Structure 1
Amino acid sequence: MAKENLNWAVLGTGVIANQMAEALQKMGKNLYAVGNRTHQKAVDFAARYGVSKVYDSIDDMFTDDAVDIIYITSPHNTHYGFMKKALEHGKHLFVEKSITLNSRELEEMMALAEEKGLVLAEAMTIWHMPVYKKLWEIVQGGSLGRVQMITMNFGSFKEYNMKNRFFNMNLAGGAMLDIGVYALSIVRSFMEEKPDDIISQWQASPTGSDEMAAILLKNGRGQMATVALSMHSKQPKRAMISCEKGYIEIMEYPRADKAMIVDAETGARTPVEAGDTANALYYEMIDMEEAVRSGDASAMKLAYSRDVMEIMTRLRKSWNMKYPGEEW
């Protein structure tokens, strides 16, 4: 019998952890436990959200029998070590994007989760926002014809502070793992199969992280995509899915709650709205709890996360952009 009330623990106390605690309150419950490298930050976080337990050591989270699901919100390069310990101790895992640094790490963790009978998932908002579920249904219904071309833009202007996580190689900085993962997740979700023909250009930041990239992708069914990423020049977060009979435009796509469908012949514009941007983490966590209770984790789309990770790893290998201590 599946456990009805699932206890969540969060590793980290940053922006996402705060949003996660608020999402749990929307679900009518409080976060059970918190762990953080700086203990006082965890204490303060617990007081803010009515958290029952603060761990003196992060490792205590993994051995706590009362914990059902751990949400890992620490920097990308710490995920693998924490994931391994958590899975070895029987914890279901929800891991902030990017789920790992590379495909080798993800393949190993997927095998361990399967061996232990646990749900492993990436906290990718796109898999869970109601507007995407609606758009996928529309596309799969065939009224727009086949998807032909996908055009993705995402650019942030980050100041050249080489110690922050956006450029710091020791914190797995760079555009690909921070924002590219969103763009490529959109691409994968609207393509009929994974793209395998990939070419790119990239520009390194002064630290050697990927500051800019232009990527062209094509799959075996002839569907194509372009992705433009930048960390020191602003772009709109804009997605355009071009089909035979019209196109879908999505702005602010990481947590979108609306889109516009434009008819190819008449130019008629049909808005599509579903969900609420403010509830992005709520939708993720509802789906995660359902996956744990039912044993059906298909809504978590780990297979798509795996495909996206393979693309990102392949690109970084082609650029020879390897993080300190990283093993491909």
Structure 2
Amino acid sequence: MAQIKHYNWATLGTGVIANQLAQALEDQGRKLYSVANRSYDKGLAFAQKYGIAKVYETIDEVFEDPEVDIIYISTPHNTHIHFLRKALAHGKHVLCEKSITLNSEELAEAVQLAEKNHVILAEAMTIFHMPIYRKLSEIVNAGRLGELKLIQMNFGSYKDYDMTNRFFNRDLAGGALLDIGVYALSFVRWFMTSSPNQIASQVKLAPTGVDEQVGILLTNEEGQMATVALSLHAKQPKRGTIAYDKGYIELYEYPRGQKAVITYTDDGHQEIIEAGDTAQALAYEVADMEKAVAGIENTMHLDYTQDVMTIMSQLRREWGMTYPEEE
């Protein structure tokens, strides 16, 4: 395999994910090249913590810096398209935190910009990069489990009923769908043969008007079905179950999964599948992004990201739920 060069990464944002990115690079003996943040003081503190040499006084400087190869955007959802426009127009490769945009129209604009400027655009969706999913795909594609019938997804967080925090804040693009539903739907898309073309749902809105609790039923052309249950105010396991006619797969903590259990229908025996390490989630994303940028292999699955965004946009249209930026 061709040697992959180490690219200069810049972080736009200094939150939890930015810290994990910096740590992932440190584990490889590398450092982030630079940091951009709305607050210069926070950017400076972040840089001092990780020994990052360059801190920008204004965010726009990161887009104009010729030494920056890849920008990781981890700011709130509703700011993504604003920064994507600038980054892509300046010829920067971008790995953007989920949800990559608010809706499919914004994503289409970003994709067009990336194509025009010949750069890689991708969503930082861990499911597409954790080794367990590739291992399971090999097993499924070998026909060992037969035909896919049904996927069941759960993701429930218990967030304080504080309507000012980002989870329930409409001005920060809060709600279950964009925050946790994007994981469940990405999981569904990974295993389904084609994207769902029939969608039904129920929603309970929080007092702020964002989706607090959601139930979704999905079916594709092949007749494969999926159910998704989401909540921001009721804890439930992060569990995915994929049922085939010859057996079923169970994954817990699936956003960064490393272990799955297959139960075979004929005799009930179980097989444990392990691959990868939850703690290395950001490292896998970095490695895959650098392979894509280098032109070696593109496994970023922007096509799946687009399919998931189409579903989420359709659901919110049916609910009549919009964000201020969309009005």
TM-score class, shorter-chain normalisation, is over 0.9
Alignment pair present for 1:128 and 2:134: no
Give yes or no for contact 2:4–2:291 (8 Å, CA) kept in 1: no
| CA deviation after TM superposition for structure 1 residue 28, in Å | 2.3
Partner amino acid, structure 2, of 1:115 = K
Give yes or no for contact 2:33–2:54 (8 Å, CA) kept in 1: yes
Identify unmatched segments of 5+ residues in structure 2.
Answer: none
Alignment pair present for 1:6 and 2:7: yes
Counterpart residue number, 2:254 = 253
Distance 1:127 1:274, change over 3 A: same
Alignment pair present for 1:280 and 2:275: no
SS in 1 for 2:110: helix
| CA deviation after TM superposition for structure 1 residue 206, in Å | 0.8
Give yes or no for contact 1:245–1:265 (8 Å, CA) kept in 2: yes
Segment of structure 1 superposing worse, 3-12 or 31-40: 3-12
Alignment pair present for 1:309 and 2:309: yes
The whole-number CA distance in structure 1 between the counterparts of 2:21 and 2:147 is: 36
SS in 2 for 1:74: coil
Counterpart residue number, 1:180 = 181
Counterpart residue number, 1:107 = 108
SS in 1 for 2:136: helix
The whole-number CA distance in structure 2 between the counterparts of 1:3 and 1:192 is: 32
Computed over aligned residues only, the root mean square deviation of the Cα atoms, in angstroms, reads: 1.2
The whole-number CA distance in structure 1 between the counterparts of 2:296 and 2:92 is: 14
SS in 2 for 1:290: helix
| CA deviation after TM superposition for structure 1 residue 249, in Å | 0.2
Distance 1:3 1:236, change over 3 A: closer
Identify unmatched segments of 5+ residues in structure 1.
Answer: none
Alignment pair present for 1:318 and 2:283: no
SS in 2 for 1:4: coil
The whole-number CA distance in structure 2 between the counterparts of 1:177 and 1:170 is: 13
| CA deviation after TM superposition for structure 1 residue 245, in Å | 0.2
Counterpart residue number, 2:69 = 68
Partner amino acid, structure 1, of 2:30 = K
SS in 2 for 1:160: coil
The whole-number CA distance in structure 2 between the counterparts of 1:295 and 1:262 is: 36
The whole-number CA distance in structure 1 between the counterparts of 2:236 and 2:230 is: 8
| CA deviation after TM superposition for structure 1 residue 3, in Å | 7.9
| CA deviation after TM superposition for structure 1 residue 141, in Å | 1.1
Runs of 4+ in 1 over 6 A off after TM superposition: none
Alignment pair present for 1:190 and 2:195: no
Partner amino acid, structure 1, of 2:223 = G
The whole-number CA distance in structure 2 between the counterparts of 1:305 and 1:172 is: 18
Identity of aligned residues (%): 58
Number of residue pairs matched?
A: 326
Q: How does 1:73-152 map to 2 (within 5 A)?
A: 73-152=74-153
Partner amino acid, structure 2, of 1:99 = I
Partner amino acid, structure 2, of 1:315 = L
The whole-number CA distance in structure 2 between the counterparts of 1:92 and 1:175 is: 28
Q: How does 1:41-60 map to 2 (within 5 A)?
A: 41-60=42-61
SS in 1 for 2:325: coil
Q: Deviations over 1:31-73 (max 9, x none)?
A: 0000111111110100111111000000000000000000000
Counterpart residue number, 1:170 = 171
